[in-house]
Amino acid sequence: MADRGGQPGNKNAEGKRLFAHAIRRAVLADDGKLLRKIADALATKAATGDVPAIKELADRLDGKSVQALEHGGLDGAAAVSVTIAKQDSGA
């Protein structure tokens, strides 16, 4: 488990990512040929104009878009701006 700067994390989740490990092992086998085939299929689908495929590629290449929200206070009070961004996991 990665160091979380003193945060305890979820001890119940440690070592239970069996499916993720199996998928990773499968797509990386044979020098990553299956992973390249999957990536090629996604790129081909995006090239045909498939919007979800385009979005997935953009999110993977550039990171997810930042969502900005503004909240106006009561009776014209100062507005609060909030920006929500997902931290890049390096995937």
Encode pLDDT of 40-65 as tens digits.
999 999 999 999 999 999 999 988 87
- Residue 68 located in a structural domain: yes
Backbone torsions φ then ψ of 88, nearest 5 degrees: -65, 125
Q: How many CA atoms lie within 13 A of 62 on its CB side?
A: 8
**Higher-scoring residue by pLDDT: 66, 37:** 37
Closest by alpha carbon to 68, among 84, 57, 53?
A: 84
- Residue 41 located in a structural domain: yes
Which amino acid, one-letter code, is at 69?
L
Q: Is the pLDDT of residue 20 over 70?
A: yes
Give every CB contact of residue 38 below 8 A, 6+ residues apart in sequence.
Answer: 27
Give the three-state DSSP class for 84: strand
Range of the domain at 49: 15-84
- Residue 34 located in a structural domain: yes
Q: Report the domain count for the chain.
A: 1
